[in-house]
Structure 1
Amino acid sequence: MAAGNCANVLEFLHLVGRLKNIKRTGWVLHQVEGPECIAGHMYRMGIMTFLLDDKGSVDKTRCLKLAVVHDLAECIVGDITPRCGVAPEEKHRREDAAMKDLAQLAGPCGAELYGLYKEYEEQKTPEARLVKELDRFDMILQAFEYEKAENRPRGLQEFFDSTSGKFSHPLITSLVNALGKQRLEFEKEYSTLE
């Protein structure tokens, strides 16, 4: 690798490293104590891909790649949510420009990174749709963890409401149902303590 390429790759890695410190906006806006960072969210999504059935109709390796790339642009643009007042078209424009910049810095693998980002955004492949479900599931799983940690049953209900009816993969649907049961148990336990 040429020295110029090394400088670009180092810049790419420095930018990606920001994801370890950028807090997820939804949790910050809901005043969650110690909110997770973007990299933490992407990491658990990546681990979730290992739970997928090896005999299924999706490519697990591709799902893993999509999971670790889907929010990569946020190292430049930040975690933009609907509450940030940025139009969806503008959010997409910013993220697309950021991904192009990152792809250029990443060198030979840049085209693959950008292609994975576009695949996730366009939601045209079974893998992209499944990873979107993992993204939503990780969000509600995290919301429940915060509800328990901060003793606020249903305190983050809007995150659950935003995903209602949006799960179809059998594994994820079963996890959502199990999570719902845990939330009900937590609410019952909490109500008996009051």
Structure 2
Amino acid sequence: MDNLEPKEVLKFLSCVNDLKHLPRRGWIDNNISNHETISGHMYAMGLMTFLLGNDSKLDRLKCLQLALVHDLAESIVGDITPADNIPVDEKHRREDEAMIDITSHIGDSGKFIYSLYKEYEAKQTPEAKFVKDLDMFDLLFTAFNYEKRDKEPNKCQLFFDAVAEKVQNPFVQKLVSEINEQRKIIANETVSGESV
């Protein structure tokens, strides 16, 4: 750390700090009020890595690290959503350039963060695949909570349609199934006039 230039470290930390205030665009596009920020999403994913027991074959620390850096590029490029109609390869190009910029300020630590980002993007390692499942699960869990909070069952169905079937990890699949069961109960209660 002693060889890091404080001015450069502050540039890196400014990018990280921006994520505390940048909303996740999907919620805005779908008229969800009082929604989470990008860093709130990353924090939730980070906490979910603690669900991995000591007997897990996955490296919990690596999963935590991947969760904490996977959306860091959004501090520069913003939260690009399908509604933006930006081709996937262009989205990845922009995010890669942003990550090179962000991580260039902190030497070897930056190189490590960039390597984590590339691992997540490649989704080849078991840890990266698991963290991608957490990414999708957090979207569904958050959508479910907004539906309950706003007393609007199935308002966020498009998110479930987009990602629920893509989850691969068996435990995360069980969590998604449980959310779907609870959504059905709430929707039935609403139709029958019971309070949610």
TM-score range, shorter chain: over 0.9
- Deviation of 1:106 after TM superposition, in Å, equals 2.2
CA contact (8 A) 1:22 1:37 kept: yes
- Is the partner of 1:181 in helix, strand or coil? helix
- Is the partner of 2:65 in helix, strand or coil? helix
Q: Give the equivalent residue in structure 2 for 1:63.
A: 63
Once the two structures are overlaid, the 10-residue window that deviates more, 33-42 or 146-155, is 146-155
- Deviation of 1:182 after TM superposition, in Å, equals 1.1
Moved over 3 A (4+): none
Report the number of matched residues. Answer: 193
Tell me the alpha carbon deviations over residues 9-65 of structure 1, each in whole angstroms, 9 at most, x when there is no partner: 011101110000100010000010111100000000000000012212210100000
Could you say what the CA RMSD is over the residues aligned between the two structures, in angstroms? 1.3
TM-score (ref. length: structure 2): 0.94
- Deviation of 1:141 after TM superposition, in Å, equals 0.4
CA contact (8 A) 1:9 1:107 kept: no
| 2:106 corresponds to 1:106 | yes
Q: Give the equivalent residue in structure 2 for 1:86.
A: 86
Letter in 2 for 1:47: L
* Separation in 1, partners of 2:54, 2:71: 25
Letter in 1 for 2:83: R
Q: Give the equivalent residue in structure 2 for 1:51.
A: 51
Q: Give the equivalent residue in structure 2 for 1:22.
A: 22
* Separation in 2, partners of 1:166, 1:78: 24
> Which 5+ residue runs of structure 1 have no aligned equivalent?
none
Percent identity (aligned):
46
- Is the partner of 2:36 in helix, strand or coil? coil
* Separation in 2, partners of 1:181, 1:105: 46
- Is the partner of 2:163 in helix, strand or coil? coil
Letter in 1 for 2:13: L
CA contact (8 A) 1:38 1:71 kept: yes
* Separation in 1, partners of 2:119, 2:141: 25
* Separation in 1, partners of 2:6, 2:108: 12
Q: Give the equivalent residue in structure 2 for 1:123.
A: 123
CA contact (8 A) 2:130 2:169 kept: yes
Q: Give the equivalent residue in structure 2 for 1:141.
A: 141
* Separation in 2, partners of 1:25, 1:106: 28
Letter in 2 for 1:87: P
TM-score (ref. length: structure 1): 0.95
Q: Give the equivalent residue in structure 2 for 1:176.
A: 176
Q: Give the equivalent residue in structure 2 for 1:34.
A: 34
CA contact (8 A) 1:103 1:111 kept: yes
- Deviation of 1:95 after TM superposition, in Å, equals 0.4
- Is the partner of 1:124 in helix, strand or coil? coil
Q: Give the equivalent residue in structure 1 for 2:74.
A: 74
